[in-house]
Amino acid sequence: MGSVLGQLGGVYAIWLREVKRSLRDKGQLIGGVSRPLLWVLILGIGLNPYFRGEVYGEVRFVVPYTYIQFIFPAVVVLNILYTSVQSAVSLIWDREFGFMREVMVAPISRNLVLLGKVLGGATTAVIHGCMVLAVAHFVGIGLTIETILKALALMFTMAFGLTAFGIIIANYVRGFEGFGVFSNAVILPLYFTASSVFPLDPALTRAQTLVTYPEWLVVIVEHNPMTYAVDAMRGILIGFNQFDPTLGFTVVGAMAASLFALAMWEFRKI
């Protein structure tokens, strides 16, 4: 019993250190505020007039939300994506300054060390996601207790998997600069091909979609797991889904489990 409590105490200590260090990093906090402001205020307001309805022949399709409301769930996912992956830079920091060697000789298993770091990064990412949710009222999205709980569950599962993904990247990149360049090279394509700024029209069949959009773009969007994360968040916040509503939660859960399993494998090499 004492050994189990000791192991859990070790996980808690690593989690607390990760959260405190992230929240004291003013650069991360400024980024967590400036990103949603840039996307919601500049892009959202700028493109809002062009999203109120479309006319095809004599038929007018009226969407029941504005562009700001459409893009808002994707901005929540963007803040989670950035913060989760970037939080893994702490692994490079610990490795460079010798702290990781001290942790590895402590009486706690490597998998639990990894769990503490992933939980710390995921917690910080969820806090950054909540910074966006806090302004939902100002873009016309009403939040209920049920909506908030569903959003938090999805955000934490997503952040857990993406933090593990960041640690996998950090295991292959040795320098801070290289990690920043490499992670951005992964984050931006994942975000922009996740149907985050434009939807694949759910009213079209696949054959019609392939006529409307280039096939390579449709294939990338459909195989990007973040597409289903964004779709699930839209379903929760504005009630719009391009895919089966249960598919988003299934894909995000499978992504988190598989990335953490892969991170455990990679963490053995440290």
Q: What is the pLDDT of residue 21?
A: 85
Q: What is the pLDDT of residue 56?
A: 47
* Whether the Cβ atoms of residue 81 and residue 154 lie closer than 8 Å to each other: no
The conformational region for residue 195 under phi > 0 = left, psi -120 to 50 = alpha, else beta, is: left
Spans in the chain with pLDDT lower than 70: 1-2, 49-63, 200-211, 270
Report the share of the chain in percent with pLDDT over 90. 31
Q: What is the pLDDT of residue 53?
A: 53
| Virtual torsion, Cα 72, 78, 83, 89, nearest 10 deg | -170
**Sign of torsion over alpha carbons 61, 64, 68, 69:** negative
Q: At what angle do helices 89-96 and 67-87 cross, to 10 degrees?
A: 20
Q: What is the pLDDT of residue 145?
A: 94
Q: What is the pLDDT of residue 1?
A: 55
Q: What is the pLDDT of residue 130?
A: 93
CA distance 229 to 189: 15
* Cβ partners under 8 Å of residue 116, min gap 6: 10, 11, 12, 13, 14, 15, 18
* Whether the Cβ atoms of residue 69 and residue 141 lie closer than 8 Å to each other: yes
| Virtual torsion, Cα 156, 28, 32, 240, nearest 10 deg | -30
* Cβ partners under 8 Å of residue 250, min gap 6: 228
Residue type, 263: A
DSSP 267: H
**Sign of torsion over alpha carbons 133, 139, 144, 146:** negative
| Virtual torsion, Cα 31, 33, 38, 42, nearest 10 deg | -170
Give the rounded distance of the alpha carbon of 1 from its chain centre.
Answer: 36
* Cβ partners under 8 Å of residue 67, min gap 6: 44, 47, 48, 50, 51
